[in-house]
C-alpha cells in the first residue's frame, strides 16, 4: 500500500471510521482525537509492514552472500 492507496482508503472509509470513533468515544471532540490517533497508528503499522516485505522481497531476489 503506497500513499495513493492510503489516501483512497481514507476517502472510501474515513467517514465511517470517524462516525465509529465518535460513537465509541461518546462525544465529537474525543471521537475526532481517537480518529486521528487511529489513522496515525494505521499509517505507522502499514509503513512497518511495507518495510518488512520490501526487505524480504529484496533478500529473496538477491540474497546476501555472507
Domain annotation covers residue 47: yes
Render the chain in DSSP notation, one character per residue: --HHHHHHHHHHHHHHHHHHHHHHHSSHHHHHHHHHHHHHHHHHHHHHHHHHHHHHHHHHHS----
**Comparing 30 with 63, which gets the higher pLDDT?**
30
Number of domains in the chain: 1
Q: Write out the residue range of the structural domain in which residue 38 sits.
A: 3-61
Domain annotation covers residue 66: no
Domain annotation covers residue 39: yes
Does the pTM surpass 0.85? The reply is no
- pLDDT, residue 8, reads 92
**Digit-coded pLDDT (tens) for 16-59:** 999 999 999 999 999 999 999 999 999 899 888 888 878 877 77
Amino acid at each position: 500500500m503506497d500513499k495513493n492507496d492510503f489516501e483512497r482508503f481514507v476517502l472510501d472509509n474515513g467517514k465511517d471510521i470517524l462516525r465509529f470513533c465518535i460513537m465509541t468515544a461518546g462525544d465529537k471532540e474525543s471521537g475526532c482525537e481517537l480518529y486521528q490517533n487511529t489513522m496515525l497508528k494505521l499509517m505507522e503499522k502499514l509503513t512497518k509492514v511495507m518495510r518488512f516485505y520490501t526487505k524480504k522481497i529484496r533478500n529473496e531476489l538477491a540474497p546476501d552472500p555472507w
